Structure 1
Amino acid sequence: MKNTRIKSLTVAFLTAIILSVSSCSDDFLEEQPRGVFTPEFFTTELGVQGGLTYLYENMRYIYGFAYFLNLGETGTDEYCAAQSANNNFYDLDLAGRGNLNSQSGFSIGRPWGNAFPAINTASGIIENAEAVGLQNSIIAEARFFRAFNYFLLVQTYGGVPLDLGSGELKFNNSAVRTSTRNTVAEVYTKGIFPDLEQAVADLPESPRLTGTVTKNVARLYLAKAYLTYAWWLENPNNIPTYPETTRTDPNGNNASYYFQQAYDLAVAGIDNPGPYSLQEYYYDLHLATNDRNSEMMLYADRTEESQIYNGGASLGWTGPGDGGAPNTAVWMVTSNYTTISVDGVAAVQREAAQSYGRPWTRMAPSINVFTETFADKQLDSRYDGTFVSSYRGNWDKGGNDSPTLTAANGMEIAPGDAVISFLDEYDADVDYSVNGGNIGGGQLPGRSDYVINLNQINRRFYPGLWKLGTYRTDNGGGLGSPNGAITRPFPIAKFSEFYFVAAEAAVKGASGAYSPRELINVIRARAGKWRFDNGEQKERIEDNSDAMVAATPAEIDINYILAERSREYFGEGKRWYDLVRTQKWNELAGSYEIAGNDATDHSPTVTTRTILPHHYLRPIPQNQLDALDMTEEEKAAYQNPGY
């Protein structure tokens, strides 16, 4: 195959920098739009500052964009296609209604299209560092992001090109149409490990500015990269790789070596936390008023201050197909709660508040999520701190001055009362014949809210994802602007991940000061602490830490680690990568249970997925293949097999 290189890589880089060149303020990255940017400008101090800020800004184009959760969640044991899904979601659900291919929707191409411009930007910063007089700590930020983006690419597509036109890991400033894919091992050992190792050495303990990367952020990603590469070397289920190569390490190390490296680094991160720490309560971790807390190590930031500085995302109205960097991913997993009608009134209206937001209803959690993953809803606070389990009346904020409405069992409810709730425990006495609230809710004696059993949810109405929900400070006591892009930061990496990486590596044979059970129990003990009941919307001071720790199995395995990861990071776009890394995708997500598309359907059925070995890599996006100057046979060879 002749050497081929992708034309759009450099073009995308130049375009992105033109859109947002930035300088740094004393405390925050400050974006300054600029109309002209050339490669020569990039050799100046101002240009390098702009390039650095772009590396942070670019995360918004992946993390939180409308179809981000589709990419990382649909087709897993967390989410399936919902009532309003289209082929963007059916393709990735692998349940017989779609056909995953190189032209599938808006999801599969986003990492490819956005990571390479960032990689090229980082290479430019690194190459111009000496001439510009950059400190090693600043260069280390660029090294981190080059590795960060290559890590995302290699997990998603397999081996990818290290040479963008001017040589491996070199800054390219000319449009070329040739490309050669490196092997997975080459991407890790040449492109990811060296950059992250240098970043760990050179980055400061505390962030240079709010939200910038640190030594411990680099430690976490190096540990995650070692862990993922160790699984790739081991290949327990004989999943194919591409480009085809033997599963050997160029440096002569085996999987056990890298599992140990991952463990050691993760433990070093725990023992040397710097400015990071676990939040005392899981609820506080995702409470919108507590964003950018000590546990959030890396996030794609947004702002309510300006549309320009929100990645161009509208603060008033944003559609699912809008370009740019709007944070709208959570709306895809929001059910259509706005159809709840009580006493002839739209009792639960669209609101710019964490439990509500805009209902696009494209993805639904399966019943298995609530009966298996989150089976414990009394001791473990993570179900309550993840989902919207009760939708409450807000008709007063919409201009209706009715003091009460007549709801279930002829009882009165006021604004702020639960209109419809999902029951923590199954109750066989729920009477669905009343079609309560026009959303398929049933009645239970003595309750004024309509109710639904969690093992009877459907693709139309289900618990929303509270943890990532909408938040604004400018609602003025009303419904606010629920159709505007979410202005919260989107979480990418958390301090808690050190415990999971170390525990997973230990299960795979790594040894050290902490056992897998000890590591996981730090997380489970925190999960047992309550200070507020989100479903009941009232204070709840309760510490179930001892009971949570006691319930942890004496010997834990990979499936238990994955279950805990799902409880901790549910709906954050990590799940597909977790299942692919551990090669547990088909085992844990090969089927799911949920009822149909009608609100009144409470008779679930089992859906089987067809997850094939080639699905463990996403297809190279067709528009990138079309830009290559190569024959159809060569393009077919460039594409991942099976697509």
Structure 2
Amino acid sequence: MNNIKNIGVALLVMAGLTFTSCSEDFLDEELTNQYSTEYFDTPEGLQALTVSLYGNIRWHFGFEWSYGQTLYGTDEFTNANDLTNEMWNTYDNRFGPAGATTGTGAANGNATNPAALWDEMYYGIASANTIIAKAETVIQDLKIRNRCLAHAYFLRGYNYYRLTAQYGGVALQTTPIVGVKRNFSRSTDEECWEQVISDFRKAYNLFEGEVFTYGKGVTWTKATAAHFLAKALLFRVSERNNEWNGSYKDADLKEAIDACTYAISVRGALTPNYSDLYANWTGIDCANEQLDEILMAAGHNGDATTVGRFGNRTYNYFTPQFSSFAGGWVRRGVWIGAMDFQRCRPTEYSYAVYNHVNDARMWKTFKTVYGVNTVVNADAGVKLGDPGIVMILNTKNDNTYDGYKFGATIQNPDWKDDAGRLPEWSVGSRQTPTSGALTSKTGQFVPNSLVLYQNGTYVAPTFKNQPVCNFFAGINKTDCGSRTAERGDSHRDVIMARLGETYLTRAECYARQGNYGNAMKDINTVRERAQWKSGENRSFYSDGSLAFKVNPLNTGASATNYVNSNLDMNTYYLSNPGVAVTTAASNLRLTSFPANLPAEDEEILSKVGAGSEYERALHFILNERTRELLGEFQRWETLSRTGTLIKRAKAFNPEAAVNITANKHELRPIPQDFIDGLLNEDGSNLSASQKAAWQNPGY
């Protein structure tokens, strides 16, 4: 059976991972897979295998599974017109243990198989098991031995965390296997979480504090282990495990709070400007990839020899199909930091959860303006560099645009002058951090435009239905202007853990203890960073397209395409009519919790029926996690953990609401090929009842 993984020595030599000696940056390692397994019986080989563990985490961002397993089918994202992974969002009968192929109804061959995570995590676990088994006898230097063990325990804990979060109880294999093993037992959820927590504890105790062994910005440290130890403890005591976790709750919450406190204390304050985490990415290995807030990242750089099996393809998945709007006024290319693959369309909730006036994260995350980089109709009164696509993110109670016509047409014929000509944008030169542009012009022609609400109705999904909306404001957290080909790999790191989440994890632990005062303090720390600072221009926008300024392709016509495409502006003032142009600071601080919450939260809590004090606190924290962590590849896990997946998907994701089912979709299907390939200890095949016992309910 090809899918029965020999999770032992034979799988340690994997294409795309590095097995040479250590260096300051594991991405500088020469790619090779020519070593025999005997190499791992030497100190050099075992250290090299330790470095290779970093390659395993790149897998998470190498293809369509990055969003399918983590974002689809939740309250935050639904599918757009591209239906590659539609079944992960709609939970229809194509989503099951048999896989996801065109033969099982998938739209194309790129669909994510539920077995993908299962298979890949056991590759990394096999490597970790070898290090753990051999380190004591192979490596005599105690410091180096502990360093290798810390990394191995961390990756094994992380991989089992991901497996248990997705599938529930899995096969726990913690020692190397020689040969092929086909008689595994399925451990319980409780046993799996104990293993995860044990591994993270060991890593936490073995790491040398904040020592960046293999290069700051990509290396796991004690704070990294603390962050994930806290998440694992919180998972164990969360609602999904309520049938058996009662005896753990008090101790686990205290330990999780202590772990969060360590990470927060040693890494310092949050990065002051939210844009520096994602939007202000200026190029390969730039300073913003070294921020103290970042606890873990999947590292990438510009060295083609280190790409291995999986590059970073996440820039493809969060952008609307802008190149098809208005007959192609905005064509795609490397000068725009994202491809228009239109996979992840924000739900109404993902816009409505923000305070549109005071929360800077909204306007530092959503891309709402594209510049015209090709003129398809010279008579339309549009010039290169004019705003070509404008997305107005207004609120439900705004009636400014009720009478306007939006889409790929002239919005309002009354805008023509006496000679029948359309007005030009006349925005002048490119916007700077202190300029206005797009702020005082509220009635102008653009080739394509969108608004969220008209007459109190959410109309955004009605634009460009083919058969599903492909016109939406995408998010910019993965945009990359460093690509050397339109569909080439991104060279930016992918953040996997940061202090913003650590604060919210600790806040949730406090809320579960009933300590709402401390929870509010942590929440306010996150919200204070989200406020507009005095002097900030609220209509200024940036994203990872900035890297194109140092891209070797930034010459000639390409340089012009960059200038015309990226106008450094958003639709803040168009989206908030009546708000005067200002550079004053805003205020998002809570003054009470969980009572008397902001209006946007009260509306959401009403829709999900959060009535008790604890329910209000939990759902507010889930809202705050959206505002802080939107699109950061963990939402499904969070909602499944808290027992809120079904309720919030039904409330906010129309495509998921039809089929999502309680007691089934909180877990993923165990791969059927794996189950079919299992044998009993005597070599006989599993019976039908034995196979059924392996599978999750409902599948």
Q: Which band: TM-score by shorter chain? A: 0.7 to 0.9
Partner of 1:586: 646
Q: Does structure 1 residue 281 correspond to structure 2 residue 251? A: no
Q: How does 1:528-539 map to 2 (within 5 A)?
A: 528-530=531-533, 531=536, 533-534=540-541, 537=568
Q: 2:389 aligns with which of 395, 409, 420?
A: 420
Runs of 5+ unmatched residues, structure 2: 101-110, 283-287, 416-421, 423-440, 453-457, 462-468, 543-566, 571-580, 597-615, 680-684
The 1:296/1:23 distance shift into structure 2, 3 A limit, reads same
The 1:128/1:433 distance shift into structure 2, 3 A limit, reads closer
Q: Percent identity?
A: 26
How many equivalent residue pairs? 567
Partner of 2:122: 116
How far is 1:202 from its partner? 1.9
How far is 1:620 from its partner? 1.3
Q: Does structure 1 residue 623 correspond to structure 2 residue 608? A: no
Across the aligned residues of Structure 1 and Structure 2, the Cα RMSD in angstroms comes to 3.1
The 1:175/1:335 distance shift into structure 2, 3 A limit, reads same
Whether contact under 8 Å (2:407, 2:450) holds in the other structure is no
Q: 1:215 aligns with which of 222, 231, 238?
A: 222
Q: Does structure 1 residue 347 correspond to structure 2 residue 329? A: yes
Partner of 1:247: 244
Compare the two structures and name the one with the higher helix fraction: 2
Partner of 2:254: 260
Q: Distance in 1 between matches of 2:161 and 2:117?
A: 11
Q: 1:148 aligns with which of 148, 154, 158?
A: 158
Q: Distance in 2 between matches of 1:279 and 1:434?
A: 38
Partner of 2:20: 22
Secondary structure at the aligned position of 2:172 is classed as: coil
Q: 2:358 aligns with which of 364, 367, 379?
A: 379
Q: 1:389 aligns with which of 354, 368, 386?
A: 368
How far is 1:619 from its partner? 0.9
Secondary structure at the aligned position of 1:298 is classed as: strand
Provide, for residues 554-600 of structure 1, a one-character-per-residue CA deviation record: whole Å limited to 9, x for no partner: 57600000000011111121110110010011111114467xxxxxx
Whether contact under 8 Å (2:240, 2:643) holds in the other structure is no
Whether contact under 8 Å (1:29, 1:209) holds in the other structure is no
Q: 2:307 aligns with which of 305, 310, 323?
A: 310
Whether contact under 8 Å (1:529, 1:544) holds in the other structure is yes
Q: Distance in 1 between matches of 2:410 and 2:311?
A: 32
How far is 1:65 from its partner? 2.6
How far is 1:49 from its partner? 2.3
Q: 1:299 aligns with which of 273, 287, 297?
A: 297
Whether contact under 8 Å (2:164, 2:192) holds in the other structure is yes
The 1:547/1:39 distance shift into structure 2, 3 A limit, reads closer
Q: 2:99 aligns with which of 99, 103, 110?
A: 103
Q: Distance in 1 between matches of 2:33 and 2:241?
A: 49
Q: Does structure 1 residue 447 correspond to structure 2 residue 444? A: yes
Q: Distance in 1 between matches of 2:527 and 2:663?
A: 33
Q: Distance in 2 between matches of 1:114 and 1:437?
A: 50
The 1:406/1:101 distance shift into structure 2, 3 A limit, reads farther
Whether contact under 8 Å (2:80, 2:342) holds in the other structure is yes
Q: 1:559 aligns with which of 619, 635, 642?
A: 619
Larger mean CA deviation between 139-148 and 225-234 belongs to 225-234
Whether contact under 8 Å (1:70, 1:107) holds in the other structure is no
Q: How does 1:55-74 map to 2 (within 5 A)?
A: 55-74=53-72
How far is 1:106 from its partner? 1.7
The 1:298/1:632 distance shift into structure 2, 3 A limit, reads same
How far is 1:380 from its partner? 0.4
Secondary structure at the aligned position of 1:590 is classed as: helix
Q: TM-score, normalised by structure 1?
A: 0.81
Q: Does structure 1 residue 170 correspond to structure 2 residue 175? A: yes
Q: How does 1:175-194 map to 2 (within 5 A)?
A: 175-189=180-194, 191-194=195-198
Secondary structure at the aligned position of 1:385 is classed as: helix
Whether contact under 8 Å (2:406, 2:450) holds in the other structure is no
Whether contact under 8 Å (1:82, 1:362) holds in the other structure is yes
Give the letter for the 2:314 counterpart. Answer: A
How far is 1:510 from its partner? 6.1
Q: Distance in 2 between matches of 1:588 and 1:285?
A: 28
Q: Distance in 2 between matches of 1:232 and 1:139?
A: 32
The 1:510/1:54 distance shift into structure 2, 3 A limit, reads farther
The 1:437/1:151 distance shift into structure 2, 3 A limit, reads farther
Partner of 2:346: 365
The 1:433/1:337 distance shift into structure 2, 3 A limit, reads closer
Runs of 5+ unmatched residues, structure 1: 164-168, 236-245, 312-323, 475-479, 595-604
Secondary structure at the aligned position of 1:297 is classed as: strand
Whether contact under 8 Å (1:521, 1:552) holds in the other structure is no
Q: Distance in 2 between matches of 1:32 and 1:232?
A: 45
Partner of 1:636: 692
Whether contact under 8 Å (2:97, 2:114) holds in the other structure is no
Q: Distance in 2 between matches of 1:414 and 1:550?
A: 48
Partner of 2:524: 521
Whether contact under 8 Å (2:17, 2:55) holds in the other structure is no
Whether contact under 8 Å (1:333, 1:363) holds in the other structure is yes
Give the letter for the 2:244 counterpart. Answer: R
Whether contact under 8 Å (2:72, 2:344) holds in the other structure is yes
How far is 1:552 from its partner? 7.1
Whether contact under 8 Å (1:62, 1:114) holds in the other structure is no
How far is 1:337 from its partner? 0.5
Compare the two structures and name the one with the higher strand fraction: 1
How far is 1:174 from its partner? 2.0
Q: TM-score, normalised by structure 2?
A: 0.75
Partner of 2:107: none
How far is 1:453 from its partner? 0.7
Partner of 2:503: 499
How far is 1:517 from its partner? 0.7
Q: Distance in 2 between matches of 1:386 and 1:552?
A: 26
Whether contact under 8 Å (2:366, 2:475) holds in the other structure is yes
The 1:392/1:144 distance shift into structure 2, 3 A limit, reads same
Whether contact under 8 Å (2:300, 2:493) holds in the other structure is yes
Q: Distance in 2 between matches of 1:79 and 1:182?
A: 32
Secondary structure at the aligned position of 1:59 is classed as: helix
Secondary structure at the aligned position of 2:497 is classed as: strand
Whether contact under 8 Å (1:17, 1:37) holds in the other structure is no
Q: Distance in 2 between matches of 1:622 and 1:233?
A: 24
How far is 1:340 from its partner? 2.8
Provide, for residues 42-75 of structure 1, a one-character-per-residue CA deviation record: whole Å limited to 9, x for no partner: 1112321221122101111123532211111111
Secondary structure at the aligned position of 2:362 is classed as: coil
Partner of 2:613: none
Whether contact under 8 Å (1:230, 1:254) holds in the other structure is yes
